[in-house]
């Protein structure tokens, strides 16, 4: 990249809502989305909830002339739903599936089966390395009593860690996706604090779209109006986040959202609104660069949010321990019943009820056993995230203590010089 050179990058993000046999007008919406992406010719289009690989394939075929590079991130039972279409060659790609992602017995919520993940594609543009991430975190079904909160916080942490460890040689980092997190939610703050990513909506010079940048709005005919009742303007849960390394400056010139309907026709592309960002990448930072610099001022909020996340994971762990203990009791009960039934059979008392109860007892032991193992695995996952948080917390505190010690020393030096 030459000095004084400015690179423009147009990015599109949408949670497509592509549940087979469930999402309304899926085929028609996919068709119109393809047409729109072809007309607009973005540099990068990142999609979530493209649950069917056939849908991805048909979109890929349609977009091939405009977006020669594409990838679908496979995971879970159905797939991660994540895919990317790029005008530029994809140099490298990989993905990370989140350790914790809901419960398999919550079939009606379905998140566990999808294998929520984060996908990474690496692009080389004008001599710069671009790491573009796309993700979708666990859905929030009940904000007042959110049983998935700990899992979502753990996912946000894993996402932050994945970006932190895989973007070390990247010049520009871009994260798009449906985080299922409101802007001030713990997961969102944790992600931003640990990665240093900036929110396009908050940073842009020119925003056009839904009030407060919302990406699920009551105007959208596919949205469950009842769920949005407490939020008259809607909610903002889809994001374009970015950062650049020192020496390179990235800014968001414009950010647009769809406003409850297709930009060309009446019906919307999805129950979520699409985000369209125009980013500029330059060499020289402006006078007052908002890019983060290391120092005590930045360490404190990181420490605070790390502590908060640690506590939240602890609450999740207590819940998981309770379920594991409950499952143990059920296993015990089932085994007791089995022993009793076996004793009855051995004693020759083979009544109808004895035989009838035998298989349900075996089922009870096996079912509760599976639940027990699942929650033991959940405990390990939460414990792992807590240990990583603890490590970063310790390092951040050490950095803070060091800077507190060195600051008075510097002041003394300056006084002596004067």
Catalytic (active-site) positions: 272
Sites for a second copy among residues 152-181 (CB under 8 A) = 161, 164-166, 168-169
75 vs 220 by CB, closer to a second copy: 75
Cβ 31 to a second copy shortest distance, Å: 25
Q: Per rule CB under 8 A, is residue 40 in the interface with a second copy?
A: no
Among 99, 267, 319, 403, binds a second copy (CB under 8 A): 99
How buried is 19 (Cβ within 10 angstroms: 0-12 exposed, 13-18 middle, 19+ buried)? middle
Which sign does the torsion angle of CA 405, 410, 411, 417 carry?
A: positive
Sites for a second copy among residues 65-94 (CB under 8 A) = 71-79, 90-94
208 vs 395 by CB, closer to a second copy: 395
DSSP for 20-38? TTTSTTHHHHHHHHHHHHH
- What is the C-alpha separation between 179 and 80, in angstroms, rounded? 14
221 vs 376 by CB, closer to a second copy: 376
C-alpha 204: how far from chain center: 22
Q: Per rule CB under 8 A, is residue 397 in the interface with a second copy?
A: no
Q: Which of 132, 224, 240 is nearest to 177 (CA)?
A: 240
Cβ 273 to a second copy shortest distance, Å: 29
* Residue 378 C-beta-side C-alpha neighbours within 13 Å: 27
115 vs 334 by CB, closer to a second copy: 115
- What is the C-alpha separation between 8 and 253, in angstroms, rounded? 9
Q: Estimate the crossing angle of helix 186-195 against helix 149-166, to 10 degrees.
A: 10
Contact flags string 344-373 toward a second copy, x per CB under 8 A: --------x--xx--xx-xx--x---x--x
> In this structure, are residues 250 and 172 in contact, taking their beta carbons and an 8 Å threshold?
yes
Residues that bind a second copy (CB under 8 A): 71-79, 90-97, 99, 113, 115, 120, 161, 164-166, 168-169, 352, 355-356, 359-360, 362-363, 366, 370, 373, 376-377, 380-381, 383-384, 387-388, 391, 395
């Amino acid at each position: 990249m030459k000095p004084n050179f400015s690179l423009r990058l147009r990015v599109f993000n949408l949670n497509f809502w592509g549940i087979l046999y469930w999402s309304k007008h899926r085929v028609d919406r996919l068709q119109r989305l393809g047409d729109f992406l072809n007309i607009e010719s973005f540099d990068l289009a990142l999609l979530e909830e493209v649950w069917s690989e056939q849908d991805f394939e048909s979109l890929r075929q349609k977009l091939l002339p405009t977006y020669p590079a594409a990838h679908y991130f496979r995971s879970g039972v159905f797939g991660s739903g994540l895919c990317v279409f790029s005008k530029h060659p994809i140099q490298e790609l990989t993905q990370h599936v989140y350790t914790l992602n809901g419960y398999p017995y919550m079939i009606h919520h379905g998140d566990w089966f999808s294998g929520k993940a984060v996908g990474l594609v690496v692009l080389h543009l004008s001599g710069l390395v671009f790491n573009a991430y796309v993700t979708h975190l666990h859905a929030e079904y009940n904000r007042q009593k959110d049983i998935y909160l700990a899992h979502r916080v753990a996912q946000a942490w894993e996402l932050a860690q994945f970006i932190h460890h895989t973007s070390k040689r990247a010049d520009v980092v871009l994260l798009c996706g449906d985080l299922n997190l409101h802007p001030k939610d713990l997961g969102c703050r944790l992600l931003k604090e640990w990665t240093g990513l900036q929110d396009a909506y908050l940073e842009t010079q020119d925003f056009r779209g839904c009030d407060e940048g919302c990406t699920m709005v009551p105007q959208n005919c596919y949205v469950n109006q009842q769920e949005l009742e407490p939020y008259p303007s809607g909610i903002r849960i889809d994001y374009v986040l970015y950062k650049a390394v020192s020496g390179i400056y990235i800014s968001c010139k414009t950010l647009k959202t769809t406003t409850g309907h297709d930009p060309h026709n009446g019906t919307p592309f999805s129950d979520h609104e699409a985000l369209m960002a125009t980013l500029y990448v330059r060499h020289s930072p402006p006078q007052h660069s908002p890019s983060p610099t290391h120092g005590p001022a930045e360490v404190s909020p990181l420490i605070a949010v790390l502590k908060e996340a640690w506590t939240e994971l602890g609450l999740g762990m207590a819940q998981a321990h309770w379920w594991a203990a409950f499952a143990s009791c059920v296993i015990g009960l089932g085994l007791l019943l089995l022993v009793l039934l076996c004793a009855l059979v051995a004693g020759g008392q083979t009544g109808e009820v004895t035989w009838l109860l035998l298989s349900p007892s075996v089922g009870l032991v096996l079912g509760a056993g599976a639940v027990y193992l699942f929650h033991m695995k959940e405990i390990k996952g939460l414990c792992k995230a807590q240990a990583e948080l603890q490590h970063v917390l310790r390092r951040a505190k050490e950095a803070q203590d060091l800077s507190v010690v060195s600051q008075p020393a510097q002041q003394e030096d300056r006084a002596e010089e004067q």
